[in-house]
Amino acid sequence: MPLHVPPAPAPALRSVLTALGSPTAVREARTPSLRAAQGPATPELPLPVHVLDRITPQGLSATRLAGWRFLIRCGERAVAAADSMLTPDGWAFSHFFEGPYIPSTERALQQAEALQQPYQPRLLSVPGLYMLTLWLHGDTATDAAEGHPAASDLLVPLAPAPPGISAHRPYQVAELLPVLTHRATPAKLLGSPA
């Protein structure tokens, strides 16, 4: 089933296009692949980036939208990514970057395309675990800027994943949540009050 990629806010896309068109922004970016790219670079596959700041013992806390990420394609492959963020003045370009999450995101999206159920792809960042996942949301009609993972949604950890969590393995939220909760909850020290 095809993924239902949500449209990015037009100002977010415009901010990335403006940055791509700026020789200064591209030259000053810490992305050698983007600076060395031959031919036109285009932003594709906009994904909302949600952040899970806190995992409680009872389950997920609400997520918050942190921005939109675009894979920057040059020719046949993505060479970098660009993030836009919401500011008090509206959507603004944040930065370009490259690294292992670019090919890992592409791989996870290809895996998701082969699934039988339609999903709305999003990214879910878990900063407390230095973890990024492709979040496959089952309600494809939902506003991509809102919501939190449902128990039946899938999370696909991107590589590099934290130790003990398999990258590129789809987990139901209900399956991965106990692992994340255990990892994110600091252990009580011996002799500390209960």
Q: How far apart, in whole angstroms, are the C-alpha atoms of residue 6 and residue 146?
A: 12
Check pLDDT > 70 for residue 135: yes
pLDDT value at 84 more than 80 = yes
Cβ(43)–Cβ(82) below 8 Å: yes
pLDDT at 155: 95
Question: What is the three-class DSSP state of 128?
Answer: helix
Residue 111 banded pLDDT, cuts 50, 70, 90: very high
User: Count of CB atoms within 10 A of residue 82's CB?
Assistant: 29
pLDDT value of position 190? 42
More confident residue, 56 or 84: 84
Instruction: DSSP letter for 171, please.
Output: E
pLDDT tops 50 at residue 187: no
Residues 6+ apart with CB under 8 A from 141: none
Angle at CA 68, nearest 5°, toward 66 and 72?
A: 140
What pLDDT digit, counting tens, does each position of 4-43 carry?
999 999 999 999 999 998 888 887 777 888 888 777 889 9
Please state, in angstroms and rounded to a whole number, the distance separating the CA atoms of residues 27 and 160.
Answer: 27
pTM above 0.85, yes or no: yes
